[in-house]
C-alpha cells in the first residue's frame, strides 16, 4: 500500500518539557542566571521559561515538587486537523488520557502515555512570545534579544527518556506522533537499547535509552541548542566557575554527531547543551542507521567513554519517583 | 476552508542545481580543490559534484556551455504520491514543461517554469551516494568522509534567483511547490523586491530578488552550508590565498540571520557559503516577516553595506544568456 | 657595534589606558554591562576597570571629564633596574615630564610625552588583582572568574593613537621604550602614515596612524582581546541589540592579521575587540613588514573597505580637546 | 642582589624538535597529508617540516631510525651575544656537549644535556623560510600560504619531556636557558612531578612530567598550535576519518588552560594540537602557580580523566631507546 509510506507531518515540533525540582529556587537560579533562559511568567508552583529563539511562550515549565524528573512533554501539531488526526490515532492505540484545557502559553491539549508511562500532550493553539521593551531584539525575525547572560542557549532541542522496553517505544511513537526512527542501537541479541526519533527535519527531537533498573517513566535529560560549538566550550567554563557538576563532554556523539555537554542542574536533573552543526535529516526516506554492540563499544565519536553515571543516573532517582 | 490552511509537505528538499560555466576546467578546479566538493561522475558536458553530507548522487551539476547561470534546479518530493500531486498542481497552473527520463543520480523528473522562466524539476526516485573505499567515513551516519581539502563545505543549502516580478513568484511558488514565505522585502510602494521561501524546516531553500535590468531567468547565487561560522572565516583565507574574488562578507544577514560569504567562481557565477547556526523554522504557522525600505537601508545585521555589484551582477550577464 | 643590536626587554607590557568621557555613567554602563569589564575600585572622578584575565588592579581608568580621548597610557617595566634604564633613556631624549606617586593599582611612575604630546608613564611596582569571593575563579591560574556578562572580553590588548608625524614616532618609541616596529605603511612619497610597535611577543601593543587634521594628542582606539574569533561575532550581536554603534567589522586586518570589530562607546571613544589567533612575534630579529599605498588600496584582508569615519573620527573630536 | 632578579631574555623561542620514527614513510604521510605540515627539504635520513606560520626553515626534523622519541631540541637565541652568554652559563653548569656546525636551516649550535639526558641545542643564525611561488601567501606578513590540507596547524608551540627527577629540571632550565617556571605540580610529599617553563610570553614552551619507569631521555609529546579551538574540533574528525588514534581530548587543561587534543602519529610518538586563546604571560614577575595532589585529582578543567596511557606511554617505549 503505497499511501501508507508517505511521511506524516501532523506534529510540527517539540513544544515544551515540564521539569520537576525539589530545589526550586536553586534550579530557577541555574536556568536563568547560568543557563541563560528567560522567565515568561509564573503560575502556581511553576515558573515558565524559554530561550531567546523559542517562539512560544515557554519551552520549559519548571515545577516545584517533592521529586525530580519530567511531569509531561508537549508537542505542537501542524494544524487543528492534524491534531484531530493524531488524537484519533492515539485513541486507536488505547494510549489516551484525555483533553486538558491547556496551560499558560497554549490551548487545549490531548494527553496520552507512552508504553513506559511518560506523559505526552499534543496541542495546536499556542501563544507567541511577546517581548517586553527591555527584551525587544534589534532584528525583528527573532523572538527576543540575546540575553548575553550565562550560556548562549538558543532554543529547546530535544529530550531523552529511559524505558524498560525501548523496542515497544520504537513501535509506538511512529504510530502515535508520526515519528521517524533516524538511528538506533540494537544489541547482538536483537534487543533495541537506544532509539532516536524525529517528526521534522531535525535529526531527533526525542531519544530513548534502556532503563536497566526496571523503573518506569524516568527522564534522562533535556537538551537546548546553541548556535556554535564554541558556545558549548564557553558554557563549560561558566559551569565550572559556578560549581555546576559537569558529567561528560564537551565531546561529539558518534550517534547523530551532535556536539554535547552534560551537566546536572542543582536538583539533579541532567541537562544537555548541543550543537548539530548544519546536519539535518532532509531525505524523506532516511534509512534508519543501526549501531551494533561492537560499534557502541568504541565510545563517543572521538573516543570518550562516558562515565558510569550516564548509564545509571536518571530522574527521579530509583525509589523516589 | 480550514483544510486549505494545512502546511504542504509534498516537496521534501532542494536537490540539485545545474550551473553553467564557460570556463569548465577552471570552475571544476575551484569547486573540487578550493570549495571542497567531491566529484561523483561525469556525462557529456557535465561533471556531477556533491558536498560530504549530501546524501544524493549530486547536488551540483556543472555543465560546460557558452554562457553562465543556472540551467535548471531540482527538488526532491516526499513520496511518489506527493510527486503526482505536485505535477497536477503545476499543470493546473499552466506552468508545466513535461517529463524527462531523469539524469545521472535521479529518476523521472517533471519540469516546469517559474513566472520568470527559470526551469525547475521535481522528482522522487534518487540514487543514494555510495562512497568508494577511500571516501568511506568513520561514522556510518554520514554520506562521505570529510575531505579536509579546501573549504569545509557540508551540504547544499539554497539558491537565489532574480526575477523581474518578485510578487508573481511569491504567488507562484506556494502553489507550485507548497512553499511558505518566511521573509520578504516590500517597498513603500508595495512592490515586493525580495522573497524567501521554504518547503521544510530550513529558514529558506530559495530566495528571489528583483532583476532591475528586466532580464529573465538569471541566477544570483548558489549556496552551500558549513557547520560553524569559523569555517566561513577559514574559507575567506582560502579564497584570498587562491585569488578567488570575495564580493562581500563574512558578515551576518539581517534577513534570516545567516552568516555569509560571497565569492565569484572563475566563470563569474556567484557562490555563497552560509551558516544559520541553530536557527530553524519550526512553527507550522510562521508569520511572514516583512522588511521595509527603511529597515533595509540599515544594511546587513552588523551594518555592512554590500557593494553595488551585489545588486547588478548576476549570471548570465545581461546580453549573454 | 653588535651590542646595540640586542633586543631591549626593559618594558614588559602595556599596563593601562586612562580614557576620558563626558558621559561617565553611560560609558561605565557600557564597559561593565555590555563590554564585560569588572570594576576594581573608584577614586575621584575615575572608575578603575579590568578584564577577567588582566592580572593587575586595572587596565582601564575611566575618568569623567569635559572631553573624550586618552589622558595617559601606562607601561609596566620588567624590573626596577629596567625602569631606571628607561627613565635615563627618556631623559636623554628630552621627553621627560617627571615622577608621579603612582595611582590606585601601581607605584611610582615616570611620565613623558611622545613627539605628538600623548602622555605615557612607565612603572614597575604594581598591585595584583585580588578577587572577592564572588569573583574567585575555579582555576587558580586565572585572575578572576569569567563574568559571563556581555562580551567575553579577556584582557587589554593594545591602543592606537594618531600623530601628525608618524615618522617621528617611529624614531622615538624604539629609543624610549625599546619597542620594535613590526609593520608599517609607507606612502610612495616615503611618508610613514602607519606604524605598529611591540615591546614583547605580541605582534603589537601600540599603533599610530596619521592625524590629517594636524591636531595633536588624539586617540584612535583602545583594544581588548577575546579568546576566539567567534566571541567577536557574538559581541557584534550584543552591540547590535544594545544600540552600540558598530563602525566596521567583524573582519580581518591585512596588517597584523588581527580579527577585529570597532564600536563607539557612548561618549564617542572608539573601542576595538580583537583576536590574533595563535600569531606571535617570536623572531628576535623580525624584519619590519612595509605595506605600500597600492597594497593598502586593496582594503582589509578579505576586501572590506572601512568607512570614511575610520580615517577622520578620533577623540577628542577636533576643536574639543 | 637586585640585578640577579632581572628576567633573562637571552633565548628567544623554541626552534625545532628532531623526532625519530621507525615508520618513516607513514609518519611523513601523517605530518604532511593529515597534520598539515609542509616539507622544506630533505637530507640523509631526515625530512624537514614546518607549519605555515613558522618563519624558520623547519620546526620538525623527522628522522628515520630504529626507534622513536626525540633526538634533540633546538632553541633560538636572541642575539649572538645572548648565545655566548648562554654557552658560558651552560658550560659553568657542566652540562655542555659542544658546538656543531648547524643543520639544514640554521647555523652553529651549541649542544648540551639536561639532567635527564635529553639533548638540547641553542643557536642564533637561522634561515628564514622562502616560499616557492605555489606557496606564496596573499598577505606578506605570513611565512607561507595556508595549505588548506588536513589540520589547520599554524606553528610549533611546545614540547613535553619525561624525567626521573623533575625537581632537578626545575633547578636546571632557569640557569641554562633563563626559563621561568610558570606552573608546577608538587605532591604532598614535596616531590615535583610536573613543571612548565617559558622563556618568552608564551605560557610555556616546554613541560616536564615524571617518568615513573626510571628511564631517561624520553619524549612525552610535541605540540603545534592552531588559531581557534574550533580547528581542534575539526582536527578530531580528520584524525577519526584517517584512522589516527586519539588518546585524549578535545578538552581543556586545568594547568595553563590550553585547549588540547592528543594523538599518536603512526610510529607511536604522541602529538598534541593546542590552542591557548589570548592567554599570555605578560607579567615579568609571574608567580609560579603550584597545583596540589588534591587539585590534580579533579582531572582536567572540565572533569576529563585522561587515560592511563597518558601516564605510561612515552617514546621510545621502555626497553627500546
Residue recorded with cell 523559542:
A54
Q: Which three cell numbers stand for residue B272?
A: 555563497
The answer to whether the beta carbons of residues A238 and A33 sit under 8 Å apart is: no
Residue D302 is nearest to which of A246, A259, A303, comparing CB atoms? A246
Backbone φ and ψ of D75, nearest 5°? -115, 140
In this complex, how many residue pairs, one in chain A and one in chain D, have their CB atoms less than 8 Å apart? Answer: 41
Nearest CA in chain B to D142: B241
Average pLDDT over residues D53-62: 98
**Conformational region of residue B17, where left means phi above 0, alpha means psi within -120 to 50, and beta covers everything else:** beta
- Mean residue pLDDT of chain A comes to 96
| Tens-place pLDDT, residues D303-317 | 999 999 999 999 999
- Mean residue pLDDT of chain B comes to 96
Question: Which of B26, B18, B23, B53 lies closest to B38, judged by CA?
Answer: B53
Identify the residue with better confidence: C2 or A314: A314
pLDDT band at C194 (very low <50, low <70, confident <90, very high): very high
Give dist(CA A247, CA B49) in Å, integer. Answer: 42
Give dist(CA D15, CA D55) in Å, integer. Answer: 10
H/E element holding C38? Answer: strand C38-43
Average pLDDT over residues B143-167: 98
Task: State the smallest CA–CA distance between residue B224 and chain D in angstroms.
Answer: 18
Chain D: list its partners (3+ Cβ pairs within 8 Å).
Answer: A, B, C
pLDDT of residue A3: 43
| Tens-place pLDDT, residues C24-55 | 999 999 999 999 999 999 999 999 999 999 99
Return the residue in B2, B153, B282, B287 with the most chain A beta carbons within 10 A, the one to mutate for interface testing.
Answer: B282
- Percent of chain C residues topping a pLDDT of 70: 98
Residue C241 is nearest to which of A137, A237, A240, comparing CB atoms? A137
Distance (Å) of CA C162 to CA C75, C116, C210: 18, 8, 5
Task: Confirm or reject contact between D298 and chain A (CB < 8 A).
Answer: no
Residue A156, strand partner residues? A224
Residue A278 is nearest to which of B81, B227, B230, comparing CB atoms? B227
Give dist(CA B146, CA B52) in Å, integer. Answer: 6
- Is D73 a residue whose pLDDT tops 70? yes
The answer to whether the beta carbons of residues B96 and B112 sit under 8 Å apart is: yes
pLDDT band at A295 (very low <50, low <70, confident <90, very high): very high
Q: Which residues of chain C lie closer than 8 angstroms to A34, CB-CB?
A: 148
pLDDT band at C102 (very low <50, low <70, confident <90, very high): confident
pLDDT band at B320 (very low <50, low <70, confident <90, very high): low
* Residue ranges of C 114-173 with Cβ closer than 8 A to chain B: none
Backbone φ and ψ of D295, nearest 5°? -65, -40
CA dihedral angle for residue A196, residue A198, residue A202, residue A206, rounded to 10 degrees: -50
Cross-chain Cβ contact A240/C152 below 8 Å: no
pLDDT of residue C53: 97
Give dist(CA B201, CA B284) in Å, integer. Answer: 9
Give dist(CA C218, CA C315) in Å, integer. Answer: 6
Cross-chain Cβ contact D301/A252 below 8 Å: no
pLDDT band at C3 (very low <50, low <70, confident <90, very high): very low
Cross-chain Cβ contact B233/C252 below 8 Å: yes
pLDDT of residue C2: 37
pLDDT of residue B141: 97
Average pLDDT over residues A82-101: 97
Q: Which residues of chain A lie closer than 8 angstroms to B279, CB-CB?
A: 53, 154, 227
Average pLDDT over residues A124-141: 97
Q: Which residues of chain A lie closer than 8 angstroms to C138, CB-CB?
A: 240-241, 243
- Is B277 a residue whose pLDDT tops 70? yes
Return the residue in D13, D225, D282 with the most chain C beta carbons within 10 A, the one to mutate for interface testing.
Answer: D282
Identify the residue with better confidence: A105 or D1: A105
Q: Which residues of chain A lie closer than 8 angstroms to D304, CB-CB?
A: 304
| Residues in contact with B178: Cβ distance below 8 Å, sequence separation at least 6, in sequence order | B7, B8, B9, B10, B11, B86, B199
| Tens-place pLDDT, residues C269-307 | 999 999 999 999 999 999 999 999 999 999 999 999 999
Give dist(CA B296, CA B289) in Å, integer. Answer: 13
- Percent of chain D residues topping a pLDDT of 70: 98
pLDDT of residue C320: 62
| Tens-place pLDDT, residues C215-271 | 999 999 999 999 999 999 999 999 999 999 999 999 999 999 999 999 999 999 999
CA quadruple A201, A202, A203, A206: dihedral sign: negative
Nearest CA in chain A to B156: A278
CA B114 to chain centre: 15
Average pLDDT over residues A117-131: 97
Q: Which residues of chain B lie closer than 8 angstroms to C246, CB-CB?
A: 302-303
pLDDT band at B102 (very low <50, low <70, confident <90, very high): confident
Question: Interior CA angle at C234 toward C231 and C240, to 5°?
Answer: 140
Give dist(CA B288, CA A202) in Å, integer. Answer: 22
pLDDT of residue D231: 98
Residue C9 is nearest to which of D9, D81, D276, comparing CB atoms? D9
- Is A4 a residue whose pLDDT tops 80? no
Cross-chain Cβ contact A234/C150 below 8 Å: no
- Percent of chain A residues topping a pLDDT of 90: 96
Q: How many CA atoms lie within 13 A of A213 on its CB side?
A: 19
- Is D320 a residue whose pLDDT tops 70? no
Task: State the smallest CA–CA distance between residue A174 and chain B in angstroms.
Answer: 17
Task: State the smallest CA–CA distance between residue B112 and chain A in angstroms.
Answer: 22
| Tens-place pLDDT, residues A240-292 | 999 999 999 999 999 999 999 999 999 999 999 999 999 999 999 999 999 99
Return the residue in A83, A278, A298 with the most chain B beta carbons within 10 A, the one to mutate for interface testing.
Answer: A278
pLDDT band at D2 (very low <50, low <70, confident <90, very high): very low
- Mean residue pLDDT of chain D comes to 96
pLDDT of residue D319: 74
Nearest CA in chain C to A243: C138
Nearest CA in chain D to C55: D283
Query: For the ranges A199-203, B102-106, C50-54, which has the lowest average pLDDT?
Result: B102-106
- Is A320 a residue whose pLDDT tops 90? no
Distance (Å) of CA A68 to CA A15, A301, A307, A308: 20, 30, 21, 20
H/E element holding C266? Answer: none
pLDDT band at A319 (very low <50, low <70, confident <90, very high): confident
Cross-chain Cβ contact B7/A7 below 8 Å: no
3-state secondary structure D216-241: CCCEEEEEEECCCHHHHHHHHHHHHH
Task: Confirm or reject contact between C228 and chain A (CB < 8 A).
Answer: yes
Question: Which of C68, C75, C104 lies closest to C17, judged by CA?
Answer: C75
| Tens-place pLDDT, residues B203-235 | 999 999 999 999 999 999 999 999 999 999 999
Give dist(CA D10, CA D77) in Å, integer. Answer: 6
- Percent of chain B residues topping a pLDDT of 70: 98
| Tens-place pLDDT, residues D206-225 | 999 999 999 999 999 999 99
* Residue ranges of C 247-286 with Cβ closer than 8 A to chain A: none
Question: Which of D63, D68, D62 lies closest to D50, judged by CA?
Answer: D62
pLDDT band at B12 (very low <50, low <70, confident <90, very high): very high
Q: Which residues of chain D lie closer than 8 angstroms to A302, CB-CB?
A: 236, 239-240, 246, 249-250
Q: Which three cell numbers stand for residue A318?
A: 530509583
This prediction's pTM? 0.97
Helix/strand number for chain D, H first, E second: 6, 17
| Tens-place pLDDT, residues D227-247 | 999 999 999 999 999 999 999
Q: Which three cell numbers stand for residue D213?
A: 619507569
CA quadruple A168, A173, A178, A184: dihedral sign: negative
- Is B241 a residue whose pLDDT tops 90? yes
Backbone φ and ψ of B86, nearest 5°? -65, -40
Residue recorded with cell 546553541:
A226
Task: Confirm or reject contact between D231 and chain B (CB < 8 A).
Answer: yes
Burial of B49 from C-beta contacts in 10 A (0-12 / 13-18 / 19+): buried
Residue A56, strand partner residues? A128
Question: Which of A147, A148, A149, A151 lies closest to A234, judged by CA?
Answer: A151
- Tell me: cis bond preceding C168? Omega within 30 of 0 counts: no
Amino acid at each position: 500500500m503505497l499511501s501508507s509510506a508517505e511521511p506524516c507531518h501532523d506534529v510540527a515540533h517539540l513544544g515544551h518539557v515540564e521539569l520537576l525540582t525539589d530545589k526550586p529556587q536553586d534550579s530557577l537560579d541555574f536556568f536563568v542566571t547560568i543557563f541563560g533562559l528567560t522567565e515568561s511568567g509564573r503560575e502556581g508552583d511553576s515558573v515558565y521559561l524559554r530561550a531567546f529563539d523559542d517562539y512560544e511562550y515557554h519551552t520549559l515549565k519548571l515545577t516545584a515538587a517533592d521529586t525530580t524528573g519530567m511531569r509531561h512533554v508537549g508537542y505542537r501539531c501542524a494544524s487543528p486537523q492534524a491534531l484531530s488526526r493524531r488524537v484519533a490515532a492515539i485513541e486507536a492505540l488505547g494510549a489516551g488520557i484525555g483533553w486538558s484545557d491547556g496551560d499558560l502559553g497554549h490551548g487545549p491539549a490531548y494527553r496520552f502515555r507512552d508504553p513506559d508511562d511518560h506523559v505526552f500532550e499534543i496541542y495546536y493553539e499556542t501563544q507567541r512570545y511577546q517581548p517586553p521593551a527591555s527584551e525587544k531584539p534589534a532584528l525583528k525575525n527573532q523572538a527576543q534579544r540575546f540575553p548575553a547572560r550565562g550560556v548562549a542557549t538558543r532554543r529547546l532541542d530535544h529530550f531523552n527518556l529511559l524505558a524498560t522496553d525501548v523496542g515497544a517505544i520504537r513501535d509506538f511513537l511512529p504510530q502515535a506522533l508520526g515519528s521517524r526512527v533516524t538511528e538506533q542501537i540494537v544489541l547482538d541479541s536483537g534487543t533495541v537499547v537506544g532509539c532516536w526519533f524525529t517528526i521534522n527535519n531535525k535529526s531527533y527531537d526525542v531519544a530513548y535509552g534502556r532503563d536497566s533498573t526496571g523503573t518506569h517513566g524516568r527522564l534522562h535529560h533535556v537538551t537546548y541548542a546553541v548556535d556554535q560549538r564554541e558556545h558549548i566550550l564557553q558554557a563549560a567554563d561558566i559551569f565550572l566557575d559556578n560549581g555546576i557538576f559537569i558529567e561528560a563532554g564537551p565531546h561529539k556523539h558518534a550517534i547523530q554527531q551532535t556536539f554535547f555537554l552534560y551537566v546536572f542542574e542543582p536538583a539533579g536533573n541532567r541537562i544537555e547543551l548541543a550543537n548539530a552543526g548544519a546536519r539535518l535529516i532532509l531525505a524523506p526516506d532516511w534509512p534508519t542507521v543501526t549501531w551494533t554492540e561492537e560499534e557502541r563499544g568504541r565510545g563517543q565519536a572521538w573516543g570518550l567513554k562516558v562515565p558510569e553515571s550516564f548509564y545509571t543516573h536518571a530522574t527521579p532517582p530509583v525509589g523516589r519517583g
